[in-house]
Each structure stands twice: as C-alpha cells, then as structure tokens.
Structure 1
Amino acid sequence: MDLDVAQVRAFVRTAEELHFGRAAGTLAISQQALSKRIARLEALLGTPLLLRGGTGVRLTEAGRRFLGPARRTVAAADAAVAAVSGADRPLHVDTWGHLYAPMRTLARVAGRAGELVSGHGRDLPSVAKALLNGDVDAAFGRVHPPLPAGLAHRLIRLEPVDAVLSADHPLAAEPALRPDRLSGGVLWAPGPLDRLDFLHRFAVRFGVRHTATSVNLGLGHFLAEVAREPDRFSLMPADVPLPRVPGLRSVPLTDPTPLYAWSLLWRSGDEHPGLKGLVTACAEEGGRSRWLEYDPARDWLPEPPASGPEPV
C-alpha cells in the first residue's frame, strides 16, 4: 500500500485543527479539496479516520492510532525534500515566554549555529503545534508537561530568578530573600496562571495565596504595574536587563534559588542540517558559561533535570 503524502498531510492538519475550514486554510487549498484527500485516504485504508457531525470533527479510534505515524510520515517526507533542495535553508526557530527575553540566550550562540530565522509564538502549545505542522524547525523556551508526542527537547540553560517588587514593599530593602517570605504578597502575573506554568508552580510550592493577572503589554508596562502597589511582586530571570522603572526593586532569591529552565524543542526525526549545529553551539556556550549548574540542596526547579539530555 502506497500512501499519498498530500492525503496524509491533509488528515494530520485536520486532526490537529479539528476543523475542516481551518485545516484547509493552513494548507492553502479549498475545503472541498481537503475533504476529497481525506476521503481517498480513508478509502485506501478501508476505515474512517474522522467523524464529521454537528458537534464538530472527532477522531475515530483508527484515526487516533494513525495520527502519530502519520505525523512522522509527513516529517520524513519534508526532511527528504529538504535533504535535496533545502540544505542551505535557514533554520526557523520560534520562541515563547517573551517577557523573559528568550532571544538573550539565542543571541549568544547565533553566530556559531548557521543562519537562523526567528519567530515569536504565543505560548508552548501554539509553538508545539507549529513544530508538528512543519511551520518551524525548532523552538526555544520553557518546556513543561504535557508535551505532545512527536517532539523532543534538550535542556539548554538554568537561570536564577529574582523577585521584582515595589520599593515600598516591606521586603524591598532586604539584600536577599527566601521565596517563602513572599507568601503574604500578591504575585503579579502577565496573564492567567493556567498558561504560566512556572509562576503557577512557584505559587503552589512557596505558599503564595494571592495572585492577580495583568495584560501583557511589554516588560516596561508590566513592571510599572508591579511598582505601583506595595504588596505586589513578580519574578524575572536574573540576566534580563530591566527597563528603568521608578520605584522598582530587584532582590535575589536564595535558600532555595528558583531556576528557570530554557530548552530547545524540535520535531522528532527532523533532519535539518542547522539543528545539530544549534544544539552543539548551545552545549558549548553552556559549558563555558556554566548554564546547567544545579544543586538540589541549594536550588529549586519545578521539574528537576533528567539524567541526561536527549541527543539530536
């Protein structure tokens, strides 16, 4: 049985969007053409893959079993084409967690990793979707479970986190703080905590009972909101250059020191020649700059690092 990659790609996009119109739009084809491709694939396989109805599109049991191998088939086809025609194509790298300035780290290795083209995804789920769709080659940000099947990642950097708070906060004059001393304050977040895994886990771990959210209009606006009220605080990686905001203080956190984990994420089986160069450059810079130092007796991570990084 020979599979038509265009038909398999049509199924994968529809399974991910669960909407024929949106899936067709991402493939730049009509909805009718998309439906025909999937119907031909289902006829070839001899079983329905998708259920269409008034409640939307759902995967059948066969469709759920087929989705993982189908994604790998599409990725392998894309890699085969790239091996012939796209060896010199720039590596497209998406980033997320923009308030924490992920490009600071990539800028340290960009000159040694070949030509990079950067993008700006909204969050981990949207970036993961772009990777699985083949829209980008790699991504950089904080990886946390659940991670969709078909993706691999490698820990690149562990960055100490400071507390940022109003100069009128009762703890603003302290030279350093234990995280649990912030439990009585209001954790100010640039969005809903269910989408900000690190801040959510920090609040749970250190007993922060009061949280409030803001609209993410950039780092300067966010920090000005923190500085405005004496009971507010938030968290920022220590290496982020802070804008000059009147009435703002940055205080190191110790005993334990929270660490923000930056990882490189890519689609399993991706053979883009620039990916290995980027991973190698990150590993070399990490060794020089001691990016991966972690002592469980001294530091806190929501997810302690695994025994070893996944190879590329």
Structure 2
Amino acid sequence: MCPYSVRMDLDTVRTFVAAADTGRFQEAAAELAVSQQAVSKRVAALERGLGVRLFTRTPRGAELTIDGRAFLPHARELLRVADRAVASVRVGRRPLRVDVINLRGAASGLMRDFHRRHPDIELDVLKLFDIDEAIAALRSGTLDATFRAVGEPGRPLPADIVSVRVLDEPLQLLTGPAHALAHVRSVPLAELAGHRIWMPGVVPGTEWAAYYADLVAAYGLTIESTGPNFGSDALLDTIADTPALATFMSEQTRLVWPTGHDLRRIPVTDPTPVYPHSLLWHRDNPHPALTALRAHLETAAPGPATTGTWVPPWTSPH
C-alpha cells in the first residue's frame, strides 16, 4: 500500500479541485472559507504526498500541470464517492429532492399528486436548468431524481444513471384572438408551416432546444427564439397583442391571463407533438422515498403515448 494513501484527506483533495476550478488560490480560499495560506499548505502537502507538481504559478494565477490535469478527474471522483457515502447515512433524515424543470408543467403536477397521496414524505422540489447539472447532482447525491427528455444523439446517459419514460406531454398552439388560426377547433401539425411560432425560452444546447429543432426539421415549421425571455406573463402579453405570432404551450401547463387577452388554446393533431418526460435517478440512490415515487409514477402517470403522436427519433420509451 502506498504510504500516502493513508494520509490523503478529503480537505486536501477538495482544496485541489477548488483551486483547479477557480484558477486562483485566493478565489479557492474564499470558496472554501479558509485562508489563502491554508490553500497553499494543503496543495503543497498533496504535491509532496503524490511526488509531483500539480500547479504552476503564472501572472494570471495557478495553472494545472500535466500531472495536475491527469489527477483532476480522479480527484472529482473521490469527492463524488465521499459525498455519496455521507448521503447514504443521511437520506432517511432529509427530504426527497426532485427536479421538475418547469414548476407549471406536467412533471410538477405529478409531484403535487405524489405529495397529496404521500403527505408524510417530505419533499424538496427543485428547478435545475441544464441536464448536465442535474446528472452531476444525481451522481453526487445532492439530487434524488429529475424529469428530463433523454436520448439526444451524442449525449448518452452515464452507466450509473437509470431512466424510465413516464409521461408524454401534449403540446397545444396558443394564439391571440386576432391570429389567423384563432377560431379553428384544432389544427394539423403540418398546417403550422408558414406561421410564426415564438418561443423565447428555447436556449441552444438544452434538451428542449434539440426537441424543437427536430420538430422544425420534420414539419418545416418556423420557431423563433429571438429576444429576451421575460417569463410566461410577458409571453402571454405579446401573443395576445401580436396577431402574427403564436406559441406552443403544454396542454397541462396551468396559466392565468387577463380577461382582455382572450387567448385561445388550440389542439394540434395529425400527429400531436408530445414532449417526452423520463424519470432519472442514480442506480445506487438509497433514499427510501425514491422507491415510493417510482411506484406512484408506475400507477398514476399516463405513460408514453403510442399512436397519433410525434416525438423526436432519439427518444424511446423504456
């Protein structure tokens, strides 16, 4: 056994990762709430134990050496394992933490129903933006489950993350009263080609951006995401006042708007575009309430739609 393997403590490893991420010992010290001298001493102790230089000092701060770059992913894994070890003995005394992406969407509705049926289970409902952030949180043990669209080409899930498709969320067209389609009872998806659909919340690189990019490619739609995203109230104001614009809105999204807006929710058919939600969790997550949530979704969630709907080819029910 390497003698230093006994002496390597998590504080030195955590300090090394903080210094690597910030690029400055001073910023790492602030992040860890210790002195800059303590950061220097911890890094020096780690370097002595490993027998290599991990950083070189430059006018811009601290840069990783070749050995530092090689050690960094293993250091991160050490911290992940340590965090999961701590979480494994604390989960029974903390809330179940679930990410729903959108607090007004279908996943949030599923969690509200779960809470009604299991009022004794304490919940923390979060809203994380990025799927990579959510997966990192699942792997570190700071998050127990997340609802995501998964399967995007080039972005496979890690082997330790499990996913089960639980819900397909139908999309509707939302228009103002003067829009050309405002008075139809339903509209075939292909007939939306040529209409301007405005969705300022579509951010490049997200799974929902990949979803809408495939929808555009499949049906020749025009989806615009220009302009700042001021939230749903501003979106509804714009749709109500602009006859040339419409937007997609989930059939299950709960919205309230002023009476004067007179907005119209129009079903889209032949096929109906549905947004696929899968529940993701770490296969070794020990939280007892996670089992209850999975069992609830198996019986309460409608499950994936099978006919008359459209989803991107990279999504598939499990």
TM range (shorter): 0.7 to 0.9
Matched, 1:139 2:146: yes
Instruction: Provide closer, same or farther for how the CA distance between residues 199 and 276 of structure 1 changes in structure 2, counting only shifts above 3 A.
Output: same
Kindly provide the amino acid, as one letter, of the partner of residue 227 in structure 1. A
Q: Counterparts of 1:1-312 in structure 2 under 5 Å?
A: 1=2, 2=5, 3-13=8-18, 27-30=32-35, 32-34=37-39, 36-47=41-52, 53=58, 66-98=71-103, 100=105, 102-110=107-115, 111-112=117-118, 114-131=121-138, 134-143=141-150, 145=152, 146=155, 149=158, 152-154=161-163, 155-194=165-204, 195=206, 196-197=208-209, 198-209=211-222, 211-245=224-258, 246-267=261-282, 269-286=284-301, 290-295=302-307, 298-306=308-316, 308=318
CA contact (8 A) 1:76 1:270 kept: no
Secondary structure in 1 matching 2:126? strand
The alignment yields a C-alpha RMSD, in angstroms, of 3.6
**Secondary structure of the structure 1 residue equivalent to 2:293:** helix
Larger Rg: 2
Structure 2 CA distance for aligned equivalents of residues 49 and 78 of structure 1: 23
Q: 1:166 to 1:70 in 2, by over 3 A?
A: same
Q: Where in structure 1 are there 5+ consecutive unaligned residues?
A: none
- Deviation, structure 1 residue 158: 1.4
* 1:124–1:143 contact (8 Å) kept in structure 2: no
1:67 Cα deviation after fit:
5.0
- Rounded to whole Å, the distance in 2 between the matches of 1:135 and 1:261 is 24
Per the TM alignment, residue 260 of structure 1 is displaced from its structure 2 partner at its CA by 0.8
- Over 3 Å counting, the alpha-carbon distance change for 1:106 and 1:64 in structure 2 is farther
- CA spacing shift, 1:265–1:228, aligned 2, 3 Å: same
Q: SS where residue 158 of structure 1 aligns?
A: strand
TM-score of the superposition, structure 2-length normalised?
Answer: 0.76
Relative distance call for 1:175 and 1:137 in structure 2 (3 A) is: same
Q: Which amino acid aligns with 2:10?
A: V
SS of residue in 2 equivalent to 1:164: strand
Q: Identity of aligned pairs, percent?
A: 31
For this pair of structures, how many residues does the alignment match?
303
Quick one: which amino acid aligns to residue 294 of structure 1?
T
Q: Which moved more, 1:108-117 or 1:34-43?
A: 34-43
Deviation at 1:262, TM superposition (A): 1.9
> Deviations along 1:245-290, whole A, 9 cap, x unmatched?
523111112222211122333456433333333233222323xxx2
The alpha-carbon deviation at position 72 of structure 1 amounts to 4.0
Instruction: Please give the per-residue CA displacement for 1:61-91, whole angstroms capped at 9, x wherever unaligned.
Output: 6556655554443333233323334422212
